[in-house]
Amino acid sequence: MPVLALGVSYRRASVDLLERLAFAREDLPKAYHHLMGAEPVRGAVILSTCNRVEVVADVDAYHTGLQALGAFLAESRDVDPADLAALLAAHYEDQAAGHLFSVAAGLDSMVRGESQILSQVRQAYLAAEAEDAPGPVLTGLFRRAIRAGRRARSETAIGAGPSAFVVAGAALGERAVGGFSGRAALVVGAGKMSELALRHLVARGVERATVLSRSADRAARLARAAGAVSSGGLSQIPEFLHGADVVISATGAAGTVIDAETVARALTRRPERPLFLLDLAVPRDVDPKAAELPGVVLANIDHLKDVVPGADEAEVRAAERIVEEEVARFVSWRRSARMAPVIEELYGRAERIRRAELERLRSRLAGLSEEERQAVDAATRAIVAKLLHQPVVRTKGGYESARLLARLFGLEEPPSA
């Protein structure tokens, strides 16, 4: 079956649309039930990150697959198909493999080389596997994509350094509040991005930092490890918000964590000074209406698109070569898997004919010694192998030659993809 990848990414879609399309973990069982019920779909993996929402699927054919995946994205996320039509990007067969491998290697990220995407690709595959959704083709595809991502990080420096999102966002914050020295910060979330943000803020001179998370225990551990002065649960956001100068939120929650009303109330309890809010989450943690409040500066992923630095170009080229190598390996594996039934059937038929002919001549060969009979057997095997060697080698060149071989020998034709 052909492989088709369809979805939207930061390249064409706004944060607002990505937010509407995003799949939370709890959405996936229902989403896979919907997706796998589509007639052309034989296997699928949903990849939903802050930069993209894509479906990689094993489909019957390109056009029917395109229609099914497009309908799934629109219907399951309650998005008007007209809003999606011009934004969807499709990748088919070898191009789909190249696209996914580039994504896993960080080459298609907003910040080329960012390290979180590889883990997100791996988690997307594991979530699909839990729903029995991938199938053998996508299992092979995603395992090789993960290997490409690992190689890119181990063999190049493309993923080196702290998160560029944090660095670029913090730079905006410094300008907004007039520097971090002596300021108070609130970090909402206790994941990897939040840890990077907290450590960066402390290193840049923030005097007091608080960590709040859905898990108060995780917040406490991060606070102790990174030098924050206090921690707590998300319910304490109103308690700490009014005292903060800089707020960085990256929770991965399904909905808004900091609403405009909470920000407005916090402003009434603080002197007139700037409040910088950096929202690194998709779906967004901070209500966009907060930006309309006096004294508030709000930045999110959209604002960082044009200011984040990318990876070194030499490292990017090295990672691209790794992706090309891994795509070639996948294509070779796929071709072999697709052609194996034709080759196996050809050799099986030849072997049956060889044995039948020897059986037909058994009475005429009865006078031969055991050694001579083995020599005849070996010679006929060698004749068959040599006659079939060249056709089989040429068959490995592609589908059309395999189909011709099947027709010439009266075998079952291979699937088209």
Q: Report the interhelical angle of 62-76 vs 28-36 (nearest 10°).
A: 150
- Residue 158 CB coordination number (10 Å): 26
CA-to-CA separations, 113 to 196, 278, 356, in angstroms, rounded: 16, 21, 61
- Give the number of C-alpha atoms closer than 13 A to the C-alpha of residue 5, restricted to the C-beta side: 24
Task: Measure the CA–CA gap between 169 and 50, rounded to whole angstroms.
Answer: 15
Which is the catalytic residue, given 50, 88, 212, 343?
50
Phi, psi dihedral angles at 47 (to 5 degrees): -110, 110
348 Cβ contact partners less than 8 Å away, ≥ 6 residues apart: none
Task: Measure the CA–CA gap between 118 and 245, rounded to whole angstroms.
Answer: 33
Write out the two tokens for 97: 């493999």
Phi, psi dihedral angles at 118 (to 5 degrees): -60, -45
Would you call 220 a catalytic residue per the annotation?
no
265 Cβ contact partners less than 8 Å away, ≥ 6 residues apart: 238, 242
- Give the number of C-alpha atoms closer than 13 A to the C-alpha of residue 336, restricted to the C-beta side: 7
Task: Measure the CA–CA gap between 77 and 80, rounded to whole angstroms.
Answer: 9
- Residue 270 CB coordination number (10 Å): 14
Write out the two tokens for 120: 């997100």
Q: How far is CA 95 from the centre of its chain?
A: 15
Residues 242, 266 contacting (CB under 8 angstroms) = yes
Active site residues: 50
